[in-house]
Amino acid sequence: MIVCGCPATRDVSRLILLAQDDGWDVCVVSTPDGLKFLDMPAMVSLTGHPVRHRYKDPGDPDVLPLPDAVAAVPATVNTINKWAAGIADTLALGLLVESLGRGLPMVTMPYTNEAMAAHPAFGESLRRLRSWGVRVLYGDEVYRLHPPSAGEHTLHGFPWHLVVGELRHPSPTGPVTGMFVQDAGPADVVG
C-alpha cells in the first residue's frame, strides 16, 4: 500500500484491516510527506512489516515481499501527476512506476480538494493512468471533493472499502495500485 501526505492517511489502518480480513498480507510504503500522518509503530504492529519510505542502500536486503498488487490510497495530486509522468524520485513513486511496468493489478483513490483537482494536469494524469490499466476510483460517485482547508472535516466518508473490492475483483480493463501481497504462506513469501 502506497500512502501519501494528506489527512486521510491517518485512517489508513481502516484499509489495512479490511485488506487483511480479505486475506492480504499488507505492507505500507509512504511518501516522505505521508510520514507526517502515520503512526509508524502502530503500522508495524498492525502489518508485521516495517514501513518503508526511502530507497534502501546498495547491497541491503529488501525487507518487504514482492507485491502481487498495489494500492495507492490515499493518493495526492502530486503523486498522481508524478506517477503519470514516470517520475520515480521517491521509493513510493519508484514502486508505482515499476509496478505499472510489471503489469501488476493497481488501484488508486485520490484524496484532494476541489481547487487542486481543478488543475488540468490532474485530470490528464488520471486519464493516462486509466488508459494504462490502473483502476482509478475517483469522481462524485466515489467520494465528493471538499473545498480547500476542509479536508479534516470530510474524512469520515472516505470509502476505504472500495479499494478492497477492486483488489478482489479487478477491472477487466487492466491492473489495480499500494502494496498488498496475497497471503500464500511462509514458503511463498520472499523477504
Per residue in 84-106, pLDDT tens? 999 999 999 999 999 999 999 99
Domain residue spans of the chain: 2-52+64-184
Q: Is 29 helix (H, G, I), strand (E, B) or coil?
A: strand
Q: Tell me what the pLDDT averaged over the chain comes to.
A: 86
Instruction: Provide the pLDDT confidence category of residue 170 given band limits of 50, 70 and 90.
Output: low
Inter-CA distances, 12 with 34, 38, 42, Å: 11, 8, 11
pLDDT of the residue at 178: 38
- What whole-number distance in Å separates Cα of residue 34 and Cα of residue 63? 20
Q: Which of 20-29, 32-41, 66-75, 167-176 has the lowest mean pLDDT?
A: 167-176
pLDDT digits (tens, 9 = 90+) for 6-64: 999 999 999 999 999 999 999 999 999 999 999 999 999 999 999 999 999 999 998 99
Torsional sign, CA 81, 85, 86, 88 = negative
Q: Are 3 and 9 in contact (CB under 8 A)?
A: yes
- Contact assessment for residue 132 and residue 177, using Cβ atoms and an 8 Å cutoff: no
State the CATH class of domain 2-52+64-184: alpha beta
Least confident of 4-13, 74-83, 113-122, 162-171: 162-171
- Residue 171 pLDDT > 60: no
Neighbours of 189 (CB within 10 A): 13
| N-term to C-term CA, the chain | 16
CB-based burial label for 9 (10 Å; 0-12, 13-18, 19+): buried
pLDDT tier, 169 (very low <50, low <70, confident <90, very high otherwise):
low
In single-letter form, the type of residue at position 91 comes to L
Q: Are 24 and 62 in contact (CB under 8 A)?
A: no
pTM: 0.85
CA separation for the pair 10, 3 (Å, rounded): 10
